[in-house]
Every structure is written in structure tokens, then in C-alpha cells.
Amino acid sequence: MSSVTESRTEPRLITLELKWFSVLAEQRGTRKESFQIEPGVTCSELIDRLSADFLMLKQYRDYVRLAVNREYANPGLKLQDGDEVAFITPVSGG
Amino acid sequence: MHQIKTDNIWVQIGGELPALKDVSLFVRRDYCGAVNLFEGVTRNHDSGKQVTMLLYDSYDEMALHQCEKILDEAMQEFPAGAAAILHKTGRVPVGEVSMIVAVSTPHRKESTEAVLSIIKKIKKDVPIWKKEFFGGESEGAKWKGS
């Protein structure tokens, strides 16, 4: 009798450092957190994913900008392992 | 407190603001006939409501980087002799200064235009947020723009 060893490779996840500020930090209850997600996810997809269970972010869907590693990022930018991702609601400095 | 200070650019996010005369001396240049100093001050009202205090939150590292870029652009565009952005974070009660912008240019018109341009860019792109605390009973507080 022969046996076949089934080999499954779990997709490797990437780890992001999420940063929250102002109204989003208050609602989230934290200013930073680690978040794992599959490779190839874009900024826009990350917002959609998190918005599913973070209603305040969903409210800001059309206004929030993402900064990746402290630079504003295009919605289509693919996120990389170790990226620092900040959610920038409309700013009001000055 | 986060700070970048070179020969002709000074950015500070957080911490206590320096004296205005120190900022003026920093931007002053012998070939610049105009030094334009702007102070942003917490006012006691907004949209018909009494305001008692502002609370500023900041993504310090990125705010520092964005302000440096804004000043680099101003140095090239006008051109400025030297320029500075200094912004407090945390609590700023009514009557206290939250931000200083300073620019020197050879002539007065450019110095005014440069300050206005810098402030416009700060309000568009620098990740700093203000929360207004209202004076009336039960009026609470609200993040500006939220």
C-alpha cells in the first residue's frame, strides 16, 4: 500500500504596523497595532477589509488617505511586509 | 518633541514653542528685506460655539517630514532666505499660540505670499488634527472636520 503525503503550504502572511490618530484612534482604542494580511493586498483593499468591522473607518471611506512609511500612498499601492500604514483623516493643523 | 534644524530650515513638532524673536533671528538674512512672522492662536469661538481649548494630535514623524518638504518647496519657489514651521501638540487654551510660521525673502510681497502658501499646504497635507472643546454645558468636544 502506498501512501501519499499531502503537502499544503499555508500562504505566508505579511505583518503591517497600523497607526491610528485623532478620531480613529479614539474609536479604535489604540494608536498602533500589528495586523497580518495576505501578500499583494493594496491600500484600498486594506481599508475595505478593516472597514468591515470598524464602522468609524467605513464612515471615512471616501475621505481617509493612507500613508505608507510616512509618505502618502496611492490607493493601488501593494503593501509589503513591515510597512507602517497610517490612516489620515482630513487634517486640521494650524 | 521632534525637530529638524539646518542653516535655513527649522521645523519643530511638539514641545514648547520658542520665543518669537528667536524665530525671527533664525530666518533673518542680510540680503532679505522682509521677515514675515505668523502666529496661529486659539480663538474663543467657532461656528457660533464658545471654544475653551484646542487639543492637537499629530503623526509626529510624518508631520516633521511633510513640513520639511513644504519649506524646501518655499525655499525654491519664492525664493526664501530661510523659513520655519513650529507647531505645538497637546492642549492649547484660548489666547495661546499653536503654530509659528516664519519666512524671510528679499522683498515684502514674496514673504507674505510664502507664508500664505506654507499655511495652505500645512492645512492640506500635514498630519496634525485639532479637537475643539466647547464651553457650553453638554456641548463636549469634537475633532475638527470629523
Is the residue at B131 inside a domain? no
Helices H, strands E: what count in chain A?
Answer: 3, 5
- Cβ of B57 and A19 within 8 Å? no
What local confidence, expressed as pLDDT, does residue B53 receive? 95
Q: Which helix (H) or strand (E) holds A72?
A: strand A71-72
Instruction: Write the secondary structure of A31-43 as one string of H (helix), E (strand) and C (coil).
Output: CEEEEEECCCCEH
Q: Is A28 on the interface with B (CB under 8 A)?
A: no
What local confidence, expressed as pLDDT, does residue B145 receive? 75
What local confidence, expressed as pLDDT, does residue B139 receive? 74
Contact by Cβ (8 Å): B36, B102: yes
What local confidence, expressed as pLDDT, does residue A4 receive? 53
Q: For A1-94, where are the alpha helices, taking DSSP H only?
A: 22-28, 43-51, 55-59
What local confidence, expressed as pLDDT, does residue B84 receive? 98
pLDDT band of residue B135 (cuts 50, 70, 90) is confident
Q: Which helix (H) or strand (E) holds B56?
A: strand B49-58
Domain boundaries, chain A: 14-88
ipTM above 0.95, yes or no: no
B17: domain CATH number is 3.90.1170.40
- Structural domain including B6 reads 2-41+60-126
Is the residue at B93 inside a domain? yes
Smallest CA–CA distance from A25 into chain B, residue: B57
Going by C-alpha positions, the residue among A88, A86, A45, A44 that lies closest to residue A69 is: A86
Residue B29, C-beta contacts closer than 8 angstroms, at least 6 positions apart:
B81, B82, B104
What local confidence, expressed as pLDDT, does residue A9 receive? 62
Q: Which carries the bigger pLDDT value, residue B137 or residue B119?
A: B119
Task: State yes or no: pLDDT of B66 exceeds 60.
Answer: yes
- Cβ of A90 and B145 within 8 Å? yes
Is the residue at B33 inside a domain? yes
What local confidence, expressed as pLDDT, does residue A8 receive? 60
pLDDT band of residue B74 (cuts 50, 70, 90) is very high
The fold adopted by the segment(s) A14-88 is Ubiquitin-like (UB roll) (3.10.20)
**Mean pLDDT, to the nearest integer, of B11-18?**
97
Query: Which three three-digit cell numbers place residue B82?
Result: 530661510
What local confidence, expressed as pLDDT, does residue B56 receive? 97
Residue spans of chain A under pLDDT 70: 1-11
Q: Is A27 on the interface with B (CB under 8 A)?
A: no
What local confidence, expressed as pLDDT, does residue A7 receive? 56
**Mean pLDDT, to the nearest integer, of B48-66?**
96
Is the residue at B24 inside a domain? yes
- For chain B, the domain total comes to 1
Task: State yes or no: pLDDT of B42 exceeds 90.
Answer: yes
